[in-house]
Structure 1
Amino acid sequence: MNMNQKIRIQPIQTDDIKQLIDLSKQCFHQTFDSCRALNDVNTYIKSAYTQEKLQSELKTATSRMFFAFVDNQIAGYLKVNWGMSQTETKWPSAFEIQRIYVLKQFQGRHVGSELMIKAISLAKEKHFRRIWLGVWEHNDKAQKFYHYFGFKAKDEHIFMMGDTPQRDLMMVKDI
């Protein structure tokens, strides 16, 4: 790791939509192409990362998105939700981390940690007492990362990857 690297977190603006779409697709492909049916991955990407959908998410009052930059290069991003924007209703008064995406070439350089710290800080600023997230049951690397930050598996839900249902663990951290 370059000890002189600078990680900067900044809000994503609506005119950043092209970079957001490209980053979302690239991170999703990097994570799932080798372990999921490519047709399912492509089907999911075509619906989840459209310009209309991501612009709508950016404009939602109960969601926030942030880019992480390493030495002025976009390295990843964070998306958090609360209230009606949450993707599940299991904990209606909790704060959701919907996405922490980091490009492979920046993994291991504390980008994900900085995004997690930002998410926890936002949850505290907004006076939430619980944070939750969903993670694919076979994504051991991500689960280890979340455990490091004190998240524990409390439940599960089904996440549709294209036409294939997959089991996600719902992990929770009280703050």
Structure 2
Amino acid sequence: MAVTIKKCNHEDLKTLQEISIETFYETFKDQNTAENMNAYLENAFQLEKLESELSNPFSQFFFVCVEDEVAGYLKVNTDEAQSEKEGNDSLEVERIYVRKKFQKHGLGKVLLNKAIEIAVEQSKRKVWLGVWEKNENAIAFYEKMGFIKTGSHSFQMGDEEQLDWIMTREIG
């Protein structure tokens, strides 16, 4: 299984939108109402919004590919692009998703290690992320990767306020 990581650019916008919608829906459809899912998907993954995020010099997107097929993606933020004020010594993993058919093949670990590699290259002291408190599989994965719960914040899913754990890993 040939696994590669590719940094996304504006030519990847449509593919980024497709995988963003697909993986978010696959991950959370069973725990949320259709109305809340649709409201979130329509807002979060508009082409214009993704294009703006891609243009932000403090955000980066990466595809993980298996045999040239996009299997998942990663979005990292630094400095003022972070969704919480965690400081300039931090890197945020805002999104990390793998298509269902590619899960359980170590691709999440590949993507998370890419985020840690970027943090080290940029002399960051910690990597952090928000994960839904009910996403037990993801929480267990992050704990296995050395992350610990350090706080929480609200996440708006349509008309429902949900709680995300903030999990952090010190590096360097």
Look up the match of 1:38. 34
Look up the match of 1:106. 102
Shift of 1:155: 0.3
Q: Give the whole-Å Cα distance in 1 for the aligned partners of 2:146 and 2:101.
A: 25
Identity of aligned residues (%): 39
Look up the match of 1:74. 70
Q: Give the whole-Å Cα distance in 2 for the aligned partners of 1:164 and 1:6.
A: 40
Q: Which amino acid aligns with 2:157?
A: M
Look up the match of 1:19. 15
Shift of 1:90: 3.9
Q: Which amino acid aligns with 1:77?
A: Y
Q: Give the whole-Å Cα distance in 2 for the aligned partners of 1:38 and 1:125.
A: 41
Alignment: residue pair count: 171
**Structure 1 stretches of 4+ moved >6 Å:** none
Q: What is the Cα-based RMSD across aligned positions, in Å?
A: 0.8
Unaligned runs of 5+ residues in structure 2 are none
Q: Which amino acid aligns with 1:123?
A: A
Q: Give the whole-Å Cα distance in 2 for the aligned partners of 1:144 and 1:119.
A: 18
Q: Give the whole-Å Cα distance in 2 for the aligned partners of 1:93 and 1:43.
A: 34
The residue matched to 1:168 in structure 2 has which SS? strand
Look up the match of 1:173. 169
Look up the match of 1:144. 140
Task: Name whichever of 84-93 and 127-136 sits farther off.
Answer: 84-93
- 2:127 counterpart of 1:156: no
1:65 to 47, 57, 61: 61
Shift of 1:139: 0.1
Shift of 1:93: 3.1
Shift of 1:92: 4.7
TM-score of the pair, normalised by structure 1? 0.96
**How big is each residue's C-alpha offset from its partner over 1:33-89, in whole Å with a ceiling of 9 and x where there is no partner?**
111111111101111000001011111100110000011110000000010000111
The residue matched to 1:112 in structure 2 has which SS? helix
- 2:4 counterpart of 1:8: yes
Look up the match of 1:89. 85
The residue matched to 2:31 in structure 1 has which SS? coil
Q: Give the whole-Å Cα distance in 1 for the aligned partners of 2:84 and 2:158.
A: 19
Q: Is the 8 A contact 2:88 2:124 kept in 1?
A: no
- 2:127 counterpart of 1:131: yes
